[in-house]
Structure 1
Amino acid sequence: MHLLRASSTARSRFFLSSVAMAAAVALASCGGSDSTDPMEQGAWTTGDLHVHTVQSDDSRTTQTLDFVLGKAFTTHGLDWMAVTNHLRSSKYDNNGTLLTAPVAFAYGMEAYEMPRIKALQAAGTYSNKLIFSGFEWDAPAHDHIGVGIFDGGTAGTPLTSSPSAFKEFQWVFTTADASLFKAEDVTRFQAKYPQRFNSTAADTLKGISWLKDNYPDTSYALINHPSRNPGKYTIADFRQMNDLAPKIVFAIEGMVGNQMEPDRGGYTSAYVDANLPNRTYGGTDAVVAKVGGVWDALLGEGRRIWNVANSDSHFEIDAAGNSSGYFPGEYAKNHVWVPKGNTGVAGLLDSLRAGRSFGVFGDLIQALDFTASADSAKAAMGQDLPTAAGRTVTLTIRFKSPAVNNYQRPVNSGNLGNMVPKVHHVDLIVGDVGPKAAPGTEAYNLATNPSTRVLKRFTSADWKQDADGYYSVTTTVTASKSQYFRLRGTNLAENVAGLSAAGEPLPDQKITTTDNATRHDQINDRNYGSLWFYSNPIFVTVK
């Protein structure tokens, strides 16, 4: 197997979070430039937006908060992480001790999760990391949406997760029983909200509207594992959510977690042709993996909707021999560029909204500089390059690989397999950008972008290694219309039985071996044998 993990002359880490969770990005160079643009100041950071602990009802008592933080930051070196337990009930505290009675998760977060994080950082543990609390919402009539809600942000105050907002949101937009809430809160919520909104797709939109009305600049709603269950989302749903609150609904978890499940990503619907849209392809949801599919249809309207990669960590392997997902930072990473001066949650939110990021599995790459330039103008991932028709646009791709990734044999043994990740090819994908579809029109339901295609495929015969260790390749196009350009890379050859065909990822198959240890290693080998990275796009707007 050939794999690669991104490196970084662009890897300075800069998150220094205070005990009040006022994490600040503090620049520190890790050797070399953090960007291809010497005038640009900032740093690449890595993190995970989807992580569970024992306070989620489908986790395990071994998945304590301290354990997860250790895996994320000490073992796997992340810079930031969102702890996102289910917005249901908490039966345990952070240490896996059974409570006398379950409580609504918002109370468990307030009583256990947030104080423990604060205490650890006050004592100097993870004081240079950004850690915040969010939740995973069972969005009515849909699937899961990862939500963050933050107080602060005025007069220079840092953003911090908001227990009061969590409680109110949980009351209004979930089916949690009143017995899980404090009596005084129930009285207050019933007076404020004569009706709860927790059953229809319209109620999900009401929840997003609530975020927009109350936390327009300090909340986000991430669409998690969008195609895991058939019929839960249509592209019209994505358009409607983004139209309603573009500053809040700006990302899709295309590179899903739960990669240690026999059905990769936990995509367990029947393996029939009708469910091909509900499969993962190289571990990536069909929404993002299919060239010319749903994501490209959204980008083709110029929508700033980005792809992210998360672990969805619940546990890796439990005592009964079940396997779920990798630990935070072990297999999936978001690499996010944070400009100098951007600090804490607010700075990270700005960067996530800007789309200056890429997602990767198995550390296939650990650094990526992808830029477009025309005349004296230049743009990077998530940005727009305005130019005139007929101008030459230069596209530059630079990536770097590590010496070894986190592959273990046996899985979860601590025995690194000394696997050297290696990129086999990088695809430059292009699609046309046209007007935004209008609600109520046929175009609003169109889930394809027929203009999208692989413009060029680069292999080791095309790129060269620079003195700083980056592999680089440059190509040019003539600007004739408004378009976007994005990248996809893999360790797979173009045609690998069961995994790829003509360079496209094939739907992932279930591992059915009955012996637990053998099955776990087969799942792990499958995952590390099929690694991918996806960049967010650069838009080129022809004026």
Structure 2
Amino acid sequence: MTTDRRRFLKGAGLAAAAAGAPLPAPSESFDVSRLCGRYQWLVGDHHTHSQYSYDAMYRIDQIARGGRAHGADWIVFTDHGHAEHEKVSVEPTEADFLAARRKYPDLLLWHGMEWNVPGAEHATVFFQAGRDQAAKLREFERAFDWRLTNSEASSPANEALALRALRWLAAEEQAKRIHAPVVLINHPLRNGRIAPHELRAYRDAAPNIVIGMEGAPGAQADGFPKPLGNGGARGGYANSAGPNSWPGFPAEAYRSYGGWDWATAKVGGLWDSLLAEGKPWWITTNSDSHYNRGDTLVRPQVADDWYDTHGKFPDPVDTGSPQLLAPYADFYPGEFSRTYVGVTRRSLEGVLEGLRAGRVWGVHGGLVQSLEVGAYGGGAAATLGGRLRVRRGSDVTLVVSARLAARPHGGGSVPRLARLDVVAGPVTGAVTDPDTMTAPGTKVAESFEPRWAPGRQVVFRHTFRNVRSPFYARVRGSNGTSEPTPDVIGQANPFEDLWMYANPIFVDVC
């Protein structure tokens, strides 16, 4: 790596940028928010499970309390779609959810569900419907969940049912029977069951509702080495192609890379192929909390058919002993995986607005305390998820500001950001093959190696000179200096391989 690629940029100034002139190199005191807008960055989690899921144990208020203790500002409760859940669990979940809201008024909470997507796998679905929340969730689950509609298999008919579900959400929002529905695809390539053409079809069917996917799955503690050598894999990514998998995915797509989905981690891969179309397709991270590593709570022993009879497990009991073996593969919201959303106001509406706008970045293990990214050129500026419009031949500068970690993470050490990358690629428009999953023009444009000191703010910039056509740029960071590598099944301590990914900024050229 050349000295130029390692440089730490110094200097400051914004008046020149407002006039369209070159901006001096930023210093450690450079305030990127003056360039790209002032936002409050709230930590959240859109994928959690309670005792109302057939494979989890926590009370709703315990998830909220655990998230709050680990710095979460917003949480979505997403119990699995299931016949018994639809039959008896929706109203009790709503009652417990409302009680948690009263108990923790400082938290922003939603009652959603994890949808078994017809012809595919799982997705977070949440919206607001006031007093009709439980009824509307039940209506959706009954009509469109593959566990209730016998529509699990990958087939054109089942894919069409998934699209009808998305159009139902859009129609219900238009009729004002529900408000602000959001869908995020969960652990997209864990089983390879959501083909590239399905992702595109989802987005096209409901572009303001289906906003993206988990860039990294939950269950990050599943890769910890186990005493008997029978460890799992980060995010549960230890699979291979099955009968419902899309046959075009290579074997490596079924593994996680530094805890992140192959679709996200591969430069010029599936995520980039969507961005290269100019599609606003955002990534998140989450806990997928079922059983959280190190917790002292355990689920009481019950008969095998307990959930099928009751639609709920008994409250967990405290043993006083930390649980480290399977199935304790998860973390609490905010404990390891954090999704930051830039908001203009601390409210449900503020978080929804930020999510839909793509003002989102995700990080594991507290690799950085804060991140701001802005791009400017031609007298205008934009931040994560935004679009910057410039004249052909302009220079566009990307500015990245990160606050380095100052506190130990759950692994006991202070994480060290070793590298920041600017990844960029051309926006080439709609693809002719909807199963496209490569973007050959996307590359790492520049890498920076911050001089590390706990709590320090580092600021870098990269300038794209004489831009001639539209493109996008995004930022990632790591505690290592190599490209993401596959996590070793059963030998993947999540605290040893940490990554941060931010959503893109698009640049339109006229």
Decide which of 374, 382, 385 is 1:382's aligned counterpart.
Answer: 385
Q: Does 1:171 align with 2:142?
A: yes
State which drifts further: 475-484 or 320-329: 320-329
Q: Which residue identity does 2:458 align to in structure 1?
A: Y
SS in 2 for 1:366: strand
Q: Which residue of 1 aligns with 2:325?
A: 321
Q: Which residue of 1 aligns with 2:457?
A: 470
SS in 1 for 2:55: coil
Encode CA deviations 1:4-53: one digit per residue, 9 max, x unaligned: xxxxxxxxxxxxxxxxxxxxxxxxxxxx9996217944311110000111
Within-5 A mapping of 1:430-469: 430-437=424-431, 441=432, 443-460=433-450, 469=456
**TM-score, normalized by length of structure 2?**
0.79
Distance 1:87 1:394, change over 3 A: same
Q: Does 1:79 align with 2:73?
A: yes
Q: Which residue identity does 2:180 align to in structure 1?
A: T
Decide which of 42, 46, 54 is 1:45's aligned counterpart.
Answer: 42
Distance 2:329 2:444 in 1: 33
Aligned-residue identity in percent: 32
Q: Does 1:425 align with 2:411?
A: no
Q: Which residue of 2 aligns with 1:541?
A: 508
Decide which of 335, 339, 343 is 2:344's aligned counterpart.
Answer: 339
Distance 1:210 1:245, change over 3 A: same
Q: Which residue of 2 aligns with 1:488?
A: 476
Question: How far does residue 205 in structure 1 lie from its aligned partner after superposition?
Answer: 1.3
Q: Which residue of 1 aligns with 2:91?
A: 110
Structure 1 residues not aligned, in runs of 5+: 1-31, 90-102, 153-159, 178-194, 409-416, 494-502, 512-521
Decide which of 160, 163, 166 is 1:205's aligned counterpart.
Answer: 163
Distance 1:460 1:196 in 2: 52
State which drifts further: 32-41 or 240-249: 32-41
Q: Which residue of 1 aligns with 2:264?
A: 288
**Is the 2:64–2:100 contact (alpha carbons within 8 Å) kept by the matching residues of 1?**
no
SS in 2 for 1:211: helix
Structure 2 residues not aligned, in runs of 5+: 1-28, 223-231, 243-248, 299-322
Within-5 A mapping of 1:80-99: 80-89=74-83
**Is the 1:132–1:161 contact (alpha carbons within 8 Å) kept by the matching residues of 2?**
no
Question: How far does residue 453 in structure 1 lie from its aligned partner after superposition?
Answer: 0.3
**Is the 1:172–1:196 contact (alpha carbons within 8 Å) kept by the matching residues of 2?**
no
Encode CA deviations 1:348-367: one digit per residue, 9 max, x unaligned: 11110100110001111121
Distance 1:128 1:201, change over 3 A: same
Distance 1:310 1:201, change over 3 A: same
Distance 1:121 1:349, change over 3 A: closer
> After the TM superposition, which parts of structure 1 deviate over 3 Å for at least 4 consecutive aligned residues?
32-35, 38-42, 195-199, 270-274, 317-320
Distance 2:392 2:35 in 1: 28
Aligned length: 429
**Is the 2:117–2:146 contact (alpha carbons within 8 Å) kept by the matching residues of 1?**
no
Distance 1:70 1:106, change over 3 A: farther
Question: How far does residue 212 in structure 1 lie from its aligned partner after superposition?
Answer: 1.4
Q: Which residue of 1 aligns with 2:4?
A: none
Distance 1:375 1:269, change over 3 A: same
Q: Which residue of 1 aligns with 2:108?
A: 130
Say what the alpha-carbon RMSD is for the aligned residues.
2.6
Distance 1:535 1:222, change over 3 A: same
Q: Which residue identity does 2:259 align to in structure 1?
A: G
**Is the 1:88–1:176 contact (alpha carbons within 8 Å) kept by the matching residues of 2?**
yes
Distance 1:254 1:45 in 2: 18
Encode CA deviations 1:97-124: one digit per residue, 9 max, x unaligned: xxxxxx434742322x3323333443xx
Encode CA deviations 1:54-86: one digit per residue, 9 max, x unaligned: 1111113xx22222211100x201111001110
**Is the 2:90–2:138 contact (alpha carbons within 8 Å) kept by the matching residues of 1?**
no
